[in-house]
Amino acid sequence: MPVLEATDITVRFGGITALDGASLSVESGSVTGLIGPNGAGKTTMFDVLTGLTPVDAGTVTVAGRNVTRVAPHRRARLGVARTFQRLELFGALTVLENVECAAGMALGVRGRAAAASRIAAPLVARVGLGPVAHVRAGLLPTGQARLVEVARALATNPQVLLLDEPASGQSDTEREQFSRLLRDLADDGLGILLVEHDMDLVMSVCQRIVVLNFGRVIADDTPAAVRTNPAVMAAYLGTGAAHG
């Protein structure tokens, strides 16, 4: 059973159809890629999966439970976590304090900093930010700041993690380390849905890739099959538009 599944999702904004009967699923212990040109509907799909955007048709399930009409905070409690394309950090707080905030919210307690720190400190180290744990998040370069968001999401103890362009701003070395992190997290049983413009990263870490174009799924297959799919090449990979 998929840990997260969207079935026949349709979303309209006035006269614009952002998603048109789109479906995808994410398995525990795997990384699934979600790619497509700019405006294909990737962010809308993330917003649907996390409850920020209501659907006009279709269903969303988490571990088999229908959450289509469930509020975002309740989906988070069921184990759905995400990062955003636009950084959303507490810039005046340190890296560790940012992650402690997320851990504290997940614990449902306030004023128990020790408990939150016990969760946060190992996660900061795991994403490779141990040396800057006590640096204010607002002072970090973009690549490291995005890792803070990943650590915060992990602090909520999710079943499935939705990552929106997490490698943006990373150096080649950081990207290689991040690839290993994604594989390790999947090996630990986490389901990951990855939106990323770096096709080398997507092709190397994903077990399956879903391709959106004009709100419709035009491919859902292995990286090797997607790479050579004529429809995908025409819509995305073959046009040099690998930044959507």
In the structure, what pLDDT confidence band is assigned to residue 242 with cuts at 50, 70 and 90? very low
Q: Which pLDDT belongs to residue 150? A: 96
Q: What is the CATH number of domain 1-79+159-244?
A: 3.40.50.300
Would you list the domain boundaries of the chain? 1-79+159-244, 86-157
41 CB contacts (<8 Å, ≥6 apart)? 11, 18, 19, 22, 212, 214, 215
Helices 142-154, 113-126: inter-axial angle, 10-degree rounding: 130
Q: What is the pTM of this model?
A: 0.91
Residue pLDDT, tens place only, 139-183: 999 999 999 999 999 999 999 999 999 988 888 898 999 999 999
The predicted structure's pLDDT at residue 117: 81
Range list of β-strands (E), 141-200: 160-164, 191-195
Higher-pLDDT residue of 19, 15: 19
Q: What is the pLDDT of residues 203-238, one digit of tens each?
A: 999 999 999 999 999 999 999 999 999 999 888 765
Helices (H), 127-192: 142-154, 172-187
